[in-house]
């Protein structure tokens, strides 16, 4: 395997959790709900997936547990913001704080254990294509899922009737309600989809990327995923693009450290966070574009009159 291939492989591994968490949050935000708890759901997914893998011995059960854990945990956010109309920003923060605490509890017995790494699945024929084969077709299932999800969400949002309803709710929840669209129910489902995707992203961290359990191992990726949704202006394809750009940035700092160039490692580690800020500045500078693309009901509470 060549040098470039090796680097690209690590980029893919670093980008996958970002793509997964962002695509889930994108669907949530398209219904007008801003869930800032991605970091918490992600780290919960990581802890649950790792624990389930250790207990069952199968990383696939771990993945399923991570997805289910993220989705169930997001229900807490849904209940507060959708049923009790609590402030979405504050509740999202609460979800993150709680997620970091609970995941620490769940993961505590497993600190320092080495995990069962998820094995790649070779796709026959395609895996033998030079260069691209090992990169794209000898990957683990979570990578395939992440790409399928981007395709799927793009088709779902812009080609299906249910996706049309989601866009309608995000644009104007009062009108959607008046037309008989189930606003709250749809939002619950979208929040849970976001939670499931974040849980899967967490599972990738503890089963593929690291693979072990480390406290707070999401290390801000949930927040970066939130920024990516803005960067992508709520379009699935751009999530893929943004995810890989950020994956490349966070990997480049590791490689730079390995090469031992004269920059302190802390500065290189700060690179993804600084890059997030820079990207946010670049996007928000175009106020007109942000205004047009942002789902109009994003973050606004909805209480149906009955």
Partner 1 sequence: MGSPLLAVRSLTKLFGTFAACNGIDLDIQPGEIHALLGENGAGKSTLVKMLFGVLAPTSGEILWKGSSVRIPSPGAARRLGIGMVFQHFSLFEALTVAENIALSLSPGISLSKVAEEASRLSHLYGLPLDPKAHVADLSVGERQRIEIVRALLQNPELIILDEPTSVLTPQEADRLFETLAKLKAEGRSVLYISHRLEEVQRICDRATVLRHGKVTGACDPRRETPASLARMMVGSDVASVSAAGTGARGEVLLEARHLSVSARTPFAVALRNVCLKVRGGEVLAIAGVAGNGQGELFDALSGEYPVADASAVFIRDKAAGNLGITARRLMGAGFVPEERHGHAAVPGLPLSDNLVLARNQSDRRTFLSGGVLGIIRQAVVRIASRRISETMDVRKSGEDPAAGSLSGGNLQKYIVGRELDRQPAVLIVNQPTWGVDAGAASRIRQALVDLAKSGSAVLVISQDLDEIFEVATEIAVISEGRLSDAYPARELTREKIGLLMGGMYGKTEGEEAAHAY
Partner 2 sequence: MRIELEKRANPSRLFSILSPFLALGLTVVAGGIMFALLGKSPGAALHGFFIEPLLDVWSLHEIAIKAAPLILIGVGLSVCYRSNNWNIGAEGQFIAGAIAGSIVPVVLHDWHSPLVLPLMLISGMIGGALYAAVPAFLKAHMNTNEILTSLMLVYIAQLFLDWLVRGPWRSPDAYNFPVTRDFAPEAILPELVSSGRANLGFAFAIIAAVGLWFMMRYTLKGFEITVLGQSERAGRFAGFSSRRMIWFSMLLSGALAGLAGVSEVSGTIGKLQPIISPGYGFTAIIVAFLGRLNPLGIIAAGLFLALTYVGGEAVQLTLGVSDKVTRVFQGLLLFFVLSCDTLIQYRVRLAFSRLGRGNEGGAH
As measured in angstroms, the least distance from the Cβ of 81 to partner 2 is 9
> Does 261 help bind partner 2 (rule: CB under 8 A)?
no
As measured in angstroms, the least distance from the Cβ of 176 to partner 1 is 8
The residue count for the chain: 306
Contact positions with partner 2 (CB under 8 A) in 197-236: 219-220, 223, 226-227, 230
Distance, CA of 202 to CA of 200 (rounded, Å): 5
> Does 305 help bind partner 1 (rule: CB under 8 A)?
yes
Contact positions with partner 2 (CB under 8 A) in 106-135: 108
Query: Measured from the CB atom, is 169 or 197 closer to partner 1?
Result: 169
Distance, CA of 217 to CA of 190 (rounded, Å): 25
Distance, CA of 80 to CA of 67 (rounded, Å): 21
Distance, CA of 169 to CA of 32 (rounded, Å): 7
Among 168, 192, 198, 227, binds partner 1 (CB under 8 A): 168
Tell me the CB-side half-sphere exposure of residue 70, using CA atoms within 13 A: 38
Query: Measured from the CB atom, is 137 or 302 closer to partner 2?
Result: 302
**Terminal alpha carbon distance of the chain:** 64
Element (H, E) at 253: helix 236-259
Helix (H, G, I), strand (E, B) or coil at 121: strand
**Residue 292 binds what, of partner 2, partner 1, none (CB under 5 to 8 Å, by partner type)?**
partner 1
Among 4, 6, 55, 84, binds partner 2 (CB under 8 A): 84
As measured in angstroms, the least distance from the Cβ of 78 to partner 2 is 7
How many residues touch partner 2 (CB under 8 A)?
A: 57
As measured in angstroms, the least distance from the Cβ of 177 to partner 1 is 8
Query: Measured from the CB atom, is 266 or 287 closer to partner 1?
Result: 287
> Does 165 help bind partner 1 (rule: CB under 8 A)?
yes
The single residue listed with the structure tokens 């949704």 is 229
Among 97, 113, 162, 292, binds partner 2 (CB under 8 A): 97
Helix (H, G, I), strand (E, B) or coil at 122: strand
Nearest 10 degrees: CA dihedral of 29, 34, 35, 39? 90
As measured in angstroms, the least distance from the Cβ of 28 to partner 1 is 17
Query: Measured from the CB atom, is 42 or 142 closer to partner 2?
Result: 42
DSSP string, 169-202: HHH-HHHHHHTT--HHHHHHHHHHHHHHHHHHHH
Helix (H, G, I), strand (E, B) or coil at 271: helix
How many residues touch partner 1 (CB under 8 A)?
A: 22
> Does 175 help bind partner 2 (rule: CB under 8 A)?
no
Helix (H, G, I), strand (E, B) or coil at 223: helix
> Does 85 help bind partner 1 (rule: CB under 8 A)?
no
Q: Are 106 and 49 in contact (CB under 8 A)?
A: no
State whether the Cα torsion 260-272-49-201 is positive or negative: negative
* Chain contacts with partner 2 (rule: CB under 8 A): 36, 75-76, 78-80, 82-87, 89-91, 93-94, 97-102, 104-105, 108, 177, 180, 182-185, 188, 219-220, 223, 226-227, 230, 264, 266-267, 269-270, 273-274, 276-277, 280-281, 284-285, 287, 290, 303-304, 306
Residues making contact with partner 1 (CB under 8 A): 161, 164-165, 167-168, 171-172, 174-181, 288, 291-292, 295-296, 305-306
């Amino acid at each position: 395997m060549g040098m470039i291939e090796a680097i690209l492989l690590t980029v893919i591994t670093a980008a996958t959790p970002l793509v997964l968490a962002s695509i889930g949050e994108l669907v949530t935000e398209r219904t007008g709900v801003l869930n800032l708890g991605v970091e918490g759901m992600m780290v919960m997914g990581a802890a649950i997936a790792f624990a389930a893998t250790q207990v069952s011995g199968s990383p696939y059960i771990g993945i399923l547990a991570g997805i289910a854990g993220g989705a169930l945990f997001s229900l807490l956010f849904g209940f507060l913001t959708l049923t009790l109309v609590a402030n979405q920003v504050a509740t999202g923060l609460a979800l993150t704080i709680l997620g970091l605490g609970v995941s620490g509890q769940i993961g505590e017995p497993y600190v320092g254990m080495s995990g069962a790494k998820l094995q790649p699945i070779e796709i026959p024929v395609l895996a033998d294509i030079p260069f691209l084969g090992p990169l794209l077709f000898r990957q683990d299932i979570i990578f395939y899922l992440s790409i399928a999800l981007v395709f799927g969400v793009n088709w779902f949002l812009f080609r299906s009737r249910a996706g049309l309803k989601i866009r309608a709710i995000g644009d104007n929840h009062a009108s959607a309600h008046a037309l008989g669209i189930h606003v709250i129910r749809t939002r619950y489902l979208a929040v849970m989809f976001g939670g499931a995707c974040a849980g899967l992203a967490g599972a990738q961290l503890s089963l593929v990327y690291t693979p072990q359990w480390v406290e707070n191992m999401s290390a801000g990726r949930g927040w970066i995923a939130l920024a990516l949704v803005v960067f992508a202006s709520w379009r699935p394809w751009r999530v893929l693009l943004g995810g890989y750009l950020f994956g490349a940035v966070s990997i480049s700092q590791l490689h730079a450290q390995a090469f031992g160039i004269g920059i302190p490692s802390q500065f290189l580690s700060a690179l993804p966070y600084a890059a997030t800020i820079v990207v946010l500045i670049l996007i928000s500078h175009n106020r007109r574009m942000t205004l047009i693309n942002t789902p109009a009901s994003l973050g606004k509470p909805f209480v149906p009159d009955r």
